[in-house]
A and B are shown apart, each in its own frame.
Chain A
Amino acid sequence: MKILDPTDERVPVRRSLAARPEGVTGTVGTA
Protein backbone atom coordinates (compact mmCIF):
# COMPACT_ATOMS: atom_id res chain seq x y z
CA MET A 1 0.00 0.00 0.00
CA LYS A 2 1.12 3.54 -0.72
CA ILE A 3 -0.04 6.52 1.30
CA LEU A 4 0.48 10.23 0.81
CA ASP A 5 2.75 12.02 3.23
CA PRO A 6 0.71 14.27 5.55
CA THR A 7 3.76 16.19 6.74
CA ASP A 8 5.67 19.11 5.26
CA GLU A 9 8.18 16.53 3.95
CA ARG A 10 11.10 18.22 5.62
CA VAL A 11 11.52 15.18 7.83
CA PRO A 12 12.81 11.93 6.32
CA VAL A 13 10.67 8.82 6.65
CA ARG A 14 11.95 6.94 9.65
CA ARG A 15 11.71 3.46 8.25
CA SER A 16 9.43 1.42 6.07
CA LEU A 17 8.80 -1.66 8.16
CA ALA A 18 7.25 -1.87 11.61
CA ALA A 19 8.88 -3.95 14.30
CA ARG A 20 7.31 -7.32 14.81
CA PRO A 21 7.87 -10.02 17.45
CA GLU A 22 10.74 -12.41 16.97
CA GLY A 23 8.62 -15.42 17.78
CA VAL A 24 5.30 -16.62 19.11
CA THR A 25 4.96 -16.98 22.85
CA GLY A 26 2.29 -18.49 25.05
CA THR A 27 -0.06 -21.37 24.39
CA VAL A 28 -3.65 -21.77 23.33
CA GLY A 29 -5.74 -24.43 25.05
CA THR A 30 -4.21 -27.32 26.92
CA ALA A 31 -1.84 -29.99 25.75
Chain B
Amino acid sequence: MQSLPSFSLRDLEDRERSFPNGKPTLLCFVREECETCHLSMPVIEAVHRAFGSAINVWAIGQEDNAALIKHHKATVPMLDDMALKVSFANKIEIVPTIILSDASGVEVIRWEGFHKGDWQALIGRLSELSRLAPPGFDWGRYPESRPGCGSKSVEPGILERLVAEAEDSPLRARELEIAERDDPFEFMFDQGLSDGLPVVPPTAERVIRMLNVTRRDPQEVVGTCAPNYAPVTIEKIAINAVMAGCKPEYLPVVIAAVEGLCSREFNAHALVSTYGPSPVIVVNGPIRQRIGMNMGINVLGHGNRANATIGRAVKLVLRNLGGLRPGEIERAALGSPAKYGACYPEFEERSPWEPLHVERGFNRNDSVVTLFSLEGSPHQIADQTSRTARALAGSLALGMECGWHPKVRRVGDTLLVISPEHVDTLWRDRWSKNDVRQHIQEITSRPLRELMPTDDYGGQGTTSEQAALAKGRTEEELNHRIPKFKSAENIHIIVAGGPAGKWSSVIGAFGDAAVSVPVSRKIEEIPQ
Protein backbone atom coordinates (compact mmCIF):
# COMPACT_ATOMS: atom_id res chain seq x y z
CA MET B 1 0.00 0.00 0.00
CA GLN B 2 1.16 3.51 -0.75
CA SER B 3 1.69 6.49 1.51
CA LEU B 4 -0.88 9.16 0.87
CA PRO B 5 0.31 12.74 0.28
CA SER B 6 0.42 14.87 3.40
CA PHE B 7 -1.73 18.00 3.59
CA SER B 8 -3.20 20.66 5.80
CA LEU B 9 -6.73 21.91 5.29
CA ARG B 10 -9.04 24.11 7.33
CA ASP B 11 -12.44 22.96 8.49
CA LEU B 12 -15.58 25.09 8.62
CA GLU B 13 -14.55 26.41 12.04
CA ASP B 14 -11.26 27.55 10.47
CA ARG B 15 -9.34 24.97 12.44
CA GLU B 16 -6.33 23.51 10.68
CA ARG B 17 -6.32 19.75 10.21
CA SER B 18 -3.07 18.09 9.21
CA PHE B 19 -2.61 14.69 7.69
CA PRO B 20 -1.13 12.34 8.80
CA ASN B 21 -1.27 13.18 12.49
CA GLY B 22 -0.56 9.89 14.25
CA LYS B 23 -4.11 8.51 14.17
CA PRO B 24 -5.88 6.30 11.65
CA THR B 25 -7.91 8.55 9.40
CA LEU B 26 -11.00 8.07 7.26
CA LEU B 27 -10.92 10.54 4.36
CA CYS B 28 -14.30 10.99 2.65
CA PHE B 29 -14.08 13.08 -0.53
CA VAL B 30 -17.49 14.58 -1.34
CA ARG B 31 -19.12 17.38 -3.34
CA GLU B 32 -22.46 18.99 -2.64
CA GLU B 33 -24.03 18.50 -6.06
CA CYS B 34 -23.45 14.70 -6.01
CA GLU B 35 -26.51 12.62 -5.07
CA THR B 36 -24.37 9.67 -4.01
CA CYS B 37 -22.44 11.96 -1.67
CA HIS B 38 -25.75 13.01 -0.11
CA LEU B 39 -26.64 9.32 0.22
CA SER B 40 -23.31 8.67 1.96
CA MET B 41 -23.33 11.63 4.34
CA PRO B 42 -25.53 10.03 7.06
CA VAL B 43 -23.23 6.99 7.09
CA ILE B 44 -20.15 9.20 7.32
CA GLU B 45 -21.79 11.13 10.17
CA ALA B 46 -22.68 7.90 12.01
CA VAL B 47 -19.12 6.59 11.65
CA HIS B 48 -17.79 9.88 12.99
CA ARG B 49 -20.12 9.78 16.01
CA ALA B 50 -19.24 6.14 16.76
CA PHE B 51 -15.45 6.20 16.21
CA GLY B 52 -14.45 9.87 16.16
CA SER B 53 -12.81 9.62 19.56
CA ALA B 54 -10.38 6.97 18.30
CA ILE B 55 -9.82 7.85 14.65
CA ASN B 56 -10.11 10.93 12.47
CA VAL B 57 -13.24 10.87 10.35
CA TRP B 58 -13.10 13.78 7.90
CA ALA B 59 -15.32 14.85 5.06
CA ILE B 60 -13.26 16.64 2.43
CA GLY B 61 -15.54 18.89 0.42
CA GLN B 62 -14.99 20.19 -3.10
CA GLU B 63 -17.78 22.82 -3.20
CA ASP B 64 -20.62 24.32 -1.14
CA ASN B 65 -19.30 22.52 1.90
CA ALA B 66 -21.33 24.44 4.49
CA ALA B 67 -24.54 23.69 2.58
CA LEU B 68 -23.77 19.97 2.54
CA ILE B 69 -23.13 19.92 6.29
CA LYS B 70 -26.21 22.03 7.02
CA HIS B 71 -28.44 19.85 4.86
CA HIS B 72 -27.49 16.74 6.85
CA LYS B 73 -27.17 18.53 10.22
CA ALA B 74 -23.79 16.82 10.39
CA THR B 75 -21.07 17.28 12.99
CA VAL B 76 -18.32 15.49 11.07
CA PRO B 77 -15.39 17.87 10.41
CA MET B 78 -15.75 19.23 6.88
CA LEU B 79 -12.37 20.18 5.42
CA ASP B 80 -12.28 22.80 2.71
CA ASP B 81 -10.71 21.45 -0.49
CA MET B 82 -12.42 23.86 -2.82
CA ALA B 83 -8.98 24.56 -4.30
CA LEU B 84 -9.02 20.84 -5.16
CA LYS B 85 -5.30 20.41 -4.46
CA VAL B 86 -5.81 17.52 -2.02
CA SER B 87 -8.37 15.83 -4.27
CA PHE B 88 -5.90 16.10 -7.16
CA ALA B 89 -2.96 14.88 -5.07
CA ASN B 90 -4.98 11.84 -4.00
CA LYS B 91 -6.01 11.12 -7.61
CA ILE B 92 -9.70 11.43 -6.83
CA GLU B 93 -11.70 10.82 -10.01
CA ILE B 94 -15.07 9.94 -8.48
CA VAL B 95 -16.96 11.28 -5.47
CA PRO B 96 -17.56 10.00 -2.97
CA THR B 97 -14.17 8.34 -2.59
CA ILE B 98 -13.60 6.76 0.81
CA ILE B 99 -10.01 6.17 1.93
CA LEU B 100 -8.88 4.65 5.22
CA SER B 101 -5.27 5.27 6.18
CA ASP B 102 -3.27 3.91 9.07
CA ALA B 103 -1.70 6.20 11.66
CA SER B 104 1.35 6.81 9.49
CA GLY B 105 -0.70 7.86 6.46
CA VAL B 106 -0.48 4.63 4.47
CA GLU B 107 -3.57 3.81 2.46
CA VAL B 108 -5.37 0.70 3.72
CA ILE B 109 -8.78 0.79 2.03
CA ARG B 110 -10.21 2.78 -0.88
CA TRP B 111 -13.48 2.67 -2.81
CA GLU B 112 -15.55 4.95 -4.99
CA GLY B 113 -19.30 5.55 -4.95
CA PHE B 114 -21.64 3.98 -2.40
CA HIS B 115 -21.29 0.29 -1.52
CA LYS B 116 -23.24 -0.97 1.46
CA GLY B 117 -21.05 -4.06 1.87
CA ASP B 118 -17.86 -1.99 1.92
CA TRP B 119 -19.31 0.35 4.56
CA GLN B 120 -20.43 -2.57 6.73
CA ALA B 121 -17.02 -4.24 6.48
CA LEU B 122 -15.29 -0.95 7.27
CA ILE B 123 -17.48 -0.34 10.32
CA GLY B 124 -16.70 -3.86 11.57
CA ARG B 125 -13.00 -3.22 11.10
CA LEU B 126 -13.11 0.18 12.85
CA SER B 127 -15.05 -1.32 15.75
CA GLU B 128 -12.39 -4.00 16.13
CA LEU B 129 -9.61 -1.45 15.84
CA SER B 130 -11.07 1.04 18.32
CA ARG B 131 -12.86 -1.45 20.62
CA LEU B 132 -15.88 0.84 20.29
CA ALA B 133 -19.42 -0.28 19.55
CA PRO B 134 -20.56 0.04 15.95
CA PRO B 135 -23.34 2.56 15.26
CA GLY B 136 -26.86 1.27 15.08
CA PHE B 137 -27.98 1.86 11.53
CA ASP B 138 -31.04 1.14 9.41
CA TRP B 139 -29.24 -0.40 6.44
CA GLY B 140 -32.54 -1.42 4.93
CA ARG B 141 -33.05 2.15 3.75
CA TYR B 142 -29.92 1.97 1.61
CA PRO B 143 -29.30 0.42 -1.81
CA GLU B 144 -26.60 -2.22 -2.22
CA SER B 145 -24.55 0.17 -4.29
CA ARG B 146 -24.78 3.36 -6.30
CA PRO B 147 -22.17 4.83 -8.65
CA GLY B 148 -20.59 8.11 -7.70
CA CYS B 149 -20.23 11.35 -9.67
CA GLY B 150 -17.22 12.87 -11.36
CA SER B 151 -14.79 14.62 -9.04
CA LYS B 152 -14.59 18.35 -9.66
CA SER B 153 -10.82 17.95 -9.78
CA VAL B 154 -10.99 16.09 -13.11
CA GLU B 155 -13.35 18.44 -14.90
CA PRO B 156 -11.99 19.88 -18.16
CA GLY B 157 -10.14 23.11 -17.58
CA ILE B 158 -9.80 22.41 -13.85
CA LEU B 159 -7.67 19.29 -14.21
CA GLU B 160 -5.25 21.08 -16.53
CA ARG B 161 -4.86 23.92 -14.05
CA LEU B 162 -4.19 21.48 -11.22
CA VAL B 163 -1.58 19.65 -13.32
CA ALA B 164 0.08 22.97 -14.13
CA GLU B 165 0.17 24.05 -10.48
CA ALA B 166 1.24 20.70 -9.03
CA GLU B 167 4.68 20.24 -7.50
CA ASP B 168 5.64 17.96 -10.37
CA SER B 169 4.14 20.27 -12.99
CA PRO B 170 5.45 19.60 -16.49
CA LEU B 171 5.55 23.35 -17.13
CA ARG B 172 8.66 25.43 -16.68
CA ALA B 173 7.91 28.47 -18.82
CA ARG B 174 7.87 31.91 -17.27
CA GLU B 175 4.38 33.15 -16.45
CA LEU B 176 3.33 36.56 -17.71
CA GLU B 177 0.63 38.18 -15.64
CA ILE B 178 -1.87 40.31 -17.50
CA ALA B 179 -3.55 42.98 -15.43
CA GLU B 180 -7.20 42.32 -14.69
CA ARG B 181 -8.43 45.33 -16.65
CA ASP B 182 -6.06 44.74 -19.52
CA ASP B 183 -7.10 43.00 -22.71
CA PRO B 184 -5.04 39.81 -23.15
CA PHE B 185 -5.16 40.09 -26.94
CA GLU B 186 -3.87 43.65 -26.88
CA PHE B 187 -1.25 42.65 -24.32
CA MET B 188 0.15 39.99 -26.64
CA PHE B 189 0.23 42.42 -29.55
CA ASP B 190 2.06 44.91 -27.34
CA GLN B 191 4.60 42.31 -26.29
CA GLY B 192 5.43 41.57 -29.91
CA LEU B 193 4.33 37.97 -29.57
CA SER B 194 1.95 38.01 -32.53
CA ASP B 195 2.43 37.74 -36.27
CA GLY B 196 -0.05 40.58 -36.72
CA LEU B 197 -3.20 38.52 -36.22
CA PRO B 198 -4.79 37.84 -32.84
CA VAL B 199 -3.30 34.89 -30.99
CA VAL B 200 -5.00 32.59 -28.49
CA PRO B 201 -3.78 33.35 -24.94
CA PRO B 202 -1.54 30.42 -23.96
CA THR B 203 -2.88 29.75 -20.49
CA ALA B 204 -1.43 26.89 -18.48
CA GLU B 205 -4.68 24.96 -18.91
CA ARG B 206 -4.54 25.20 -22.70
CA VAL B 207 -0.87 24.29 -22.83
CA ILE B 208 -1.38 21.25 -20.57
CA ARG B 209 -4.24 20.13 -22.82
CA MET B 210 -1.94 20.50 -25.81
CA LEU B 211 0.87 18.55 -24.14
CA ASN B 212 -1.48 15.71 -23.22
CA VAL B 213 -1.37 14.34 -26.77
CA THR B 214 2.36 13.66 -26.83
CA ARG B 215 4.43 11.15 -24.91
CA ARG B 216 7.48 13.36 -25.23
CA ASP B 217 8.98 15.10 -22.21
CA PRO B 218 7.84 18.74 -22.22
CA GLN B 219 11.38 19.80 -21.34
CA GLU B 220 13.01 17.85 -24.17
CA VAL B 221 15.01 20.20 -26.38
CA VAL B 222 14.25 19.32 -30.00
CA GLY B 223 16.89 21.69 -31.34
CA THR B 224 17.97 25.28 -31.53
CA CYS B 225 16.05 27.67 -33.71
CA ALA B 226 17.82 30.15 -35.98
CA PRO B 227 18.49 32.98 -36.31
CA ASN B 228 18.92 33.47 -32.56
CA TYR B 229 19.62 29.78 -31.94
CA ALA B 230 17.37 29.59 -28.93
CA PRO B 231 16.73 26.14 -27.47
CA VAL B 232 13.28 24.88 -28.43
CA THR B 233 11.49 22.59 -25.97
CA ILE B 234 8.32 20.62 -26.54
CA GLU B 235 6.67 22.93 -23.99
CA LYS B 236 7.61 26.05 -25.96
CA ILE B 237 6.34 24.48 -29.16
CA ALA B 238 3.05 23.68 -27.41
CA ILE B 239 2.74 27.28 -26.18
CA ASN B 240 3.18 28.64 -29.69
CA ALA B 241 0.82 26.00 -31.09
CA VAL B 242 -1.87 27.17 -28.66
CA MET B 243 -1.29 30.76 -29.76
CA ALA B 244 -1.59 29.78 -33.43
CA GLY B 245 -4.98 28.19 -32.77
CA CYS B 246 -3.94 24.54 -33.13
CA LYS B 247 -6.03 21.72 -31.73
CA PRO B 248 -4.00 19.43 -29.46
CA GLU B 249 -4.01 16.65 -32.05
CA TYR B 250 -2.05 18.88 -34.43
CA LEU B 251 0.88 19.13 -32.01
CA PRO B 252 2.83 16.07 -33.28
CA VAL B 253 2.81 17.61 -36.77
CA VAL B 254 4.06 20.92 -35.43
CA ILE B 255 6.79 19.20 -33.41
CA ALA B 256 8.03 17.22 -36.42
CA ALA B 257 8.03 20.36 -38.54
CA VAL B 258 10.00 22.27 -35.89
CA GLU B 259 12.51 19.42 -35.73
CA GLY B 260 13.03 19.86 -39.46
CA LEU B 261 13.21 23.61 -39.04
CA CYS B 262 16.01 23.27 -36.49
CA SER B 263 18.07 20.91 -38.66
CA ARG B 264 21.43 21.98 -40.01
CA GLU B 265 20.52 21.07 -43.60
CA PHE B 266 17.33 23.14 -43.61
CA ASN B 267 19.33 26.15 -42.44
CA ALA B 268 16.53 28.33 -41.10
CA HIS B 269 19.01 31.16 -40.74
CA ALA B 270 18.61 31.80 -44.46
CA LEU B 271 15.00 32.84 -43.82
CA VAL B 272 16.31 36.27 -42.80
CA SER B 273 17.00 36.93 -46.49
CA THR B 274 15.78 40.04 -48.32
CA TYR B 275 14.34 37.60 -50.88
CA GLY B 276 11.68 36.71 -48.32
CA PRO B 277 11.63 32.91 -48.34
CA SER B 278 9.26 30.95 -46.14
CA PRO B 279 9.17 27.41 -44.82
CA VAL B 280 6.57 25.49 -46.80
CA ILE B 281 5.39 22.29 -45.12
CA VAL B 282 3.94 19.27 -46.92
CA VAL B 283 2.14 16.69 -44.79
CA ASN B 284 1.85 13.06 -45.87
CA GLY B 285 0.43 9.89 -44.38
CA PRO B 286 -2.58 8.87 -42.29
CA ILE B 287 -2.44 11.88 -39.98
CA ARG B 288 -3.80 14.11 -42.77
CA GLN B 289 -7.16 12.37 -42.53
CA ARG B 290 -7.02 11.92 -38.77
CA ILE B 291 -6.73 15.64 -38.05
CA GLY B 292 -9.05 16.71 -40.85
CA MET B 293 -6.64 18.50 -43.18
CA ASN B 294 -8.03 19.84 -46.42
CA MET B 295 -6.45 18.26 -49.48
CA GLY B 296 -9.15 19.28 -51.93
CA ILE B 297 -10.88 22.51 -52.90
CA ASN B 298 -8.81 25.60 -52.02
CA VAL B 299 -6.02 23.43 -50.58
CA LEU B 300 -3.48 26.23 -50.85
CA GLY B 301 -5.92 28.78 -49.49
CA HIS B 302 -7.86 29.51 -46.35
CA GLY B 303 -10.71 27.82 -44.51
CA ASN B 304 -9.26 24.73 -42.85
CA ARG B 305 -8.06 24.98 -39.27
CA ALA B 306 -5.33 22.34 -39.46
CA ASN B 307 -3.87 23.65 -42.73
CA ALA B 308 -3.95 27.21 -41.42
CA THR B 309 -2.71 26.82 -37.89
CA ILE B 310 0.07 24.21 -38.22
CA GLY B 311 2.01 26.43 -40.60
CA ARG B 312 1.27 29.42 -38.41
CA ALA B 313 2.53 27.63 -35.30
CA VAL B 314 5.85 26.90 -36.99
CA LYS B 315 6.15 30.54 -37.97
CA LEU B 316 5.38 31.64 -34.41
CA VAL B 317 8.15 29.35 -33.15
CA LEU B 318 10.47 31.02 -35.65
CA ARG B 319 9.34 34.43 -34.44
CA ASN B 320 9.16 33.93 -30.69
CA LEU B 321 12.04 31.50 -30.20
CA GLY B 322 14.15 32.03 -33.31
CA GLY B 323 13.76 35.80 -33.17
CA LEU B 324 12.74 36.02 -36.83
CA ARG B 325 10.86 39.30 -36.74
CA PRO B 326 10.43 41.50 -39.82
CA GLY B 327 12.21 44.80 -39.62
CA GLU B 328 14.56 43.39 -37.03
CA ILE B 329 16.70 40.47 -38.12
CA GLU B 330 14.25 39.36 -40.82
CA ARG B 331 14.92 41.59 -43.81
CA ALA B 332 12.46 40.45 -46.50
CA ALA B 333 12.05 43.33 -48.96
CA LEU B 334 8.51 42.24 -49.84
CA GLY B 335 7.73 38.98 -48.08
CA SER B 336 4.64 37.03 -49.05
CA PRO B 337 1.36 35.82 -47.52
CA ALA B 338 3.17 32.53 -46.86
CA LYS B 339 5.03 34.36 -44.09
CA TYR B 340 1.93 33.75 -41.95
CA GLY B 341 2.42 30.05 -42.48
CA ALA B 342 2.23 27.55 -45.33
CA CYS B 343 1.22 23.96 -44.70
CA TYR B 344 -0.40 21.68 -47.26
CA PRO B 345 -1.27 17.99 -47.27
CA GLU B 346 -0.77 15.87 -50.37
CA PHE B 347 -3.97 14.37 -51.79
CA GLU B 348 -2.43 10.89 -51.89
CA GLU B 349 -5.75 9.18 -52.54
CA ARG B 350 -6.19 11.22 -55.73
CA SER B 351 -2.68 10.56 -57.05
CA PRO B 352 -1.62 7.65 -59.26
CA TRP B 353 1.96 8.18 -58.14
CA GLU B 354 3.98 7.43 -55.05
CA PRO B 355 3.41 10.21 -52.55
CA LEU B 356 6.21 12.56 -51.62
CA HIS B 357 7.15 10.84 -48.37
CA VAL B 358 7.44 7.41 -50.03
CA GLU B 359 9.71 8.92 -52.69
CA ARG B 360 11.81 10.20 -49.81
CA GLY B 361 12.22 6.78 -48.21
CA PHE B 362 9.35 6.48 -45.77
CA ASN B 363 6.63 3.84 -45.62
CA ARG B 364 3.25 4.76 -47.02
CA ASN B 365 1.68 4.34 -43.58
CA ASP B 366 4.16 6.69 -41.94
CA SER B 367 2.98 10.21 -41.26
CA VAL B 368 5.68 12.63 -42.35
CA VAL B 369 6.31 16.35 -42.74
CA THR B 370 8.62 17.69 -45.41
CA LEU B 371 9.90 21.24 -45.15
CA PHE B 372 11.00 23.33 -48.08
CA SER B 373 12.50 26.77 -47.99
CA LEU B 374 10.69 28.42 -50.90
CA GLU B 375 9.80 31.82 -52.23
CA GLY B 376 6.49 31.45 -50.47
CA SER B 377 3.33 32.12 -52.39
CA PRO B 378 2.08 29.71 -55.05
CA HIS B 379 2.05 30.85 -58.66
CA GLN B 380 -0.85 29.34 -60.55
CA ILE B 381 -0.38 27.91 -64.04
CA ALA B 382 -3.50 27.71 -66.19
CA ASP B 383 -3.77 25.10 -68.92
CA GLN B 384 -7.24 24.18 -70.05
CA THR B 385 -6.33 22.98 -73.51
CA SER B 386 -3.53 20.39 -73.31
CA ARG B 387 -4.84 16.91 -73.97
CA THR B 388 -1.61 14.90 -73.79
CA ALA B 389 0.85 14.40 -70.99
CA ARG B 390 3.68 15.78 -73.11
CA ALA B 391 1.83 18.96 -73.97
CA LEU B 392 0.67 19.54 -70.43
CA ALA B 393 4.04 18.86 -68.81
CA GLY B 394 5.64 21.23 -71.31
CA SER B 395 3.01 23.81 -70.56
CA LEU B 396 3.65 23.53 -66.82
CA ALA B 397 7.37 23.86 -67.54
CA LEU B 398 6.81 27.23 -69.21
CA GLY B 399 4.88 28.38 -66.18
CA MET B 400 7.67 27.21 -63.92
CA GLU B 401 10.26 29.35 -65.66
CA CYS B 402 9.15 32.38 -63.67
CA GLY B 403 10.80 31.03 -60.52
CA TRP B 404 13.36 33.51 -59.21
CA HIS B 405 13.51 35.10 -62.68
CA PRO B 406 12.44 33.65 -66.05
CA LYS B 407 16.02 33.70 -67.30
CA VAL B 408 17.74 32.36 -64.26
CA ARG B 409 18.89 28.78 -64.65
CA ARG B 410 20.01 26.00 -62.31
CA VAL B 411 17.64 27.03 -59.58
CA GLY B 412 17.08 24.68 -56.66
CA ASP B 413 14.23 22.93 -54.95
CA THR B 414 10.81 23.85 -56.27
CA LEU B 415 7.39 22.50 -55.35
CA LEU B 416 4.94 21.72 -58.13
CA VAL B 417 1.37 21.16 -56.93
CA ILE B 418 -0.55 19.34 -59.65
CA SER B 419 -4.33 19.45 -59.58
CA PRO B 420 -6.48 16.32 -59.96
CA GLU B 421 -7.66 17.25 -63.45
CA HIS B 422 -4.09 17.83 -64.59
CA VAL B 423 -2.81 14.61 -63.06
CA ASP B 424 -5.57 12.74 -64.89
CA THR B 425 -4.25 14.09 -68.18
CA LEU B 426 -0.68 13.12 -67.28
CA TRP B 427 -1.66 9.64 -66.10
CA ARG B 428 -3.84 8.93 -69.11
CA ASP B 429 -0.55 8.61 -70.98
CA ARG B 430 1.00 6.80 -68.01
CA TRP B 431 3.57 9.49 -67.40
CA SER B 432 5.48 9.08 -64.18
CA LYS B 433 6.66 11.89 -61.97
CA ASN B 434 10.12 11.41 -63.45
CA ASP B 435 8.73 11.70 -66.98
CA VAL B 436 7.21 15.03 -65.98
CA ARG B 437 10.45 16.18 -64.38
CA GLN B 438 12.58 15.24 -67.39
CA HIS B 439 10.23 16.99 -69.78
CA ILE B 440 10.27 20.12 -67.65
CA GLN B 441 14.05 20.11 -67.80
CA GLU B 442 13.98 19.61 -71.55
CA ILE B 443 11.41 22.31 -72.27
CA THR B 444 13.05 24.85 -70.00
CA SER B 445 16.54 24.27 -71.41
CA ARG B 446 17.58 27.45 -73.20
CA PRO B 447 20.78 28.40 -74.98
CA LEU B 448 23.00 30.60 -72.94
CA ARG B 449 22.68 33.41 -75.46
CA GLU B 450 18.95 33.69 -74.72
CA LEU B 451 19.74 34.17 -71.11
CA MET B 452 22.04 37.11 -71.69
CA PRO B 453 20.83 40.60 -70.82
CA THR B 454 19.86 42.94 -73.65
CA ASP B 455 19.25 46.66 -73.78
CA ASP B 456 15.56 45.95 -73.38
CA TYR B 457 15.74 43.68 -70.41
CA GLY B 458 18.24 42.76 -67.77
CA GLY B 459 18.24 39.78 -65.55
CA GLN B 460 21.41 38.07 -66.60
CA GLY B 461 20.95 35.80 -63.70
CA THR B 462 21.94 35.70 -60.15
CA THR B 463 23.71 32.39 -59.82
CA SER B 464 27.46 32.90 -59.88
CA GLU B 465 27.85 29.92 -62.17
CA GLN B 466 25.62 31.49 -64.79
CA ALA B 467 27.24 34.88 -64.49
CA ALA B 468 30.64 33.32 -65.11
CA LEU B 469 29.34 31.42 -68.12
CA ALA B 470 28.21 34.58 -69.81
CA LYS B 471 31.63 36.24 -70.02
CA GLY B 472 33.62 35.97 -73.27
CA ARG B 473 32.15 32.68 -74.42
CA THR B 474 32.44 31.11 -77.85
CA GLU B 475 29.51 30.59 -80.22
CA GLU B 476 29.40 26.97 -79.24
CA GLU B 477 29.28 27.84 -75.60
CA LEU B 478 26.60 30.45 -76.19
CA ASN B 479 24.49 27.80 -77.90
CA HIS B 480 24.89 25.44 -74.97
CA ARG B 481 21.47 24.74 -73.50
CA ILE B 482 20.95 25.08 -69.76
CA PRO B 483 17.90 23.63 -67.99
CA LYS B 484 15.92 25.70 -65.53
CA PHE B 485 16.55 23.46 -62.57
CA LYS B 486 19.83 22.36 -61.13
CA SER B 487 18.66 18.77 -61.51
CA ALA B 488 15.38 16.96 -62.13
CA GLU B 489 15.47 15.86 -58.48
CA ASN B 490 15.04 19.46 -57.44
CA ILE B 491 11.52 19.39 -58.88
CA HIS B 492 9.26 18.09 -56.11
CA ILE B 493 5.78 17.06 -57.19
CA ILE B 494 2.65 16.56 -55.14
CA VAL B 495 -1.00 16.17 -56.11
CA ALA B 496 -3.61 18.29 -54.34
CA GLY B 497 -6.66 20.39 -55.05
CA GLY B 498 -10.33 20.31 -55.91
CA PRO B 499 -11.93 17.96 -58.40
CA ALA B 500 -12.53 20.53 -61.11
CA GLY B 501 -10.13 23.03 -62.61
CA LYS B 502 -7.24 22.67 -65.01
CA TRP B 503 -4.84 24.72 -62.92
CA SER B 504 -1.68 23.70 -61.14
CA SER B 505 0.64 25.77 -58.96
CA VAL B 506 4.32 26.15 -58.53
CA ILE B 507 6.04 27.46 -55.43
CA GLY B 508 9.34 28.75 -56.63
CA ALA B 509 12.83 28.07 -55.45
CA PHE B 510 14.86 30.07 -52.98
CA GLY B 511 18.06 30.34 -54.97
CA ASP B 512 20.18 27.51 -56.21
CA ALA B 513 19.72 24.86 -53.49
CA ALA B 514 22.99 25.85 -51.85
CA VAL B 515 21.43 27.51 -48.84
CA SER B 516 18.66 25.13 -47.79
CA VAL B 517 17.94 21.45 -48.37
CA PRO B 518 14.41 20.01 -47.98
CA VAL B 519 14.08 17.89 -44.86
CA SER B 520 11.54 15.24 -43.87
CA ARG B 521 10.69 14.17 -40.34
CA LYS B 522 8.44 11.35 -39.20
CA ILE B 523 5.46 12.43 -37.09
CA GLU B 524 4.94 10.74 -33.73
CA GLU B 525 2.10 8.24 -33.82
CA ILE B 526 -0.61 9.04 -31.30
CA PRO B 527 -2.81 6.18 -30.06
CA GLN B 528 -6.46 6.68 -31.04
B-binding residues in A (CB < 8 A): 1-10, 13-19
Contact = CB atoms under 8 A, between A and B. Distances in A.
Given A3-B201, A4-B204, A6-B236, A17 B182 contact: yes
Given A1-B203, A4-B175, 5 more contacts: A8-B236, A13-B191, A14-B190, A14-B191, A18-B186
Contacts of A8: 228, 230-231, 236, 320-321, 323
Contact of B176 (A10, A13, A18): A13
B182 A5 contact: no
Interface residues on B, range: 35 or more
Contacts of A3: 175-176, 178, 184, 188, 201-203
Nearest to A13: B176
Given A3-B201, A4-B203, A8-B230, A18 B174 contact: no
Q: Is the interface of A mostly helix, strand, loop or mixed?
A: loop
A17 B193 contact: no
B282 interface: no
Given A4-B202, A18-B187, A10 B175 contact: no
B162 interface: no
Contact of A5 (B175, B187, B190, B231): B175
B240 interface: yes
Contacts of A6: 173, 193, 202, 236, 239-240, 243, 316, 320-321
Nearest to A15: B190
Contacts of A13: 176, 191
B204 A2 contact: yes
A4 B323 CA distance: 17
Contacts of B202: 3-4, 6
Interface string B190-223: 1111000000011110010000000000000000
A2 B228 CA distance: 26
B183 interface: yes
B122 interface: no
Given A5-B175, A8-B231, A18 B190 contact: yes
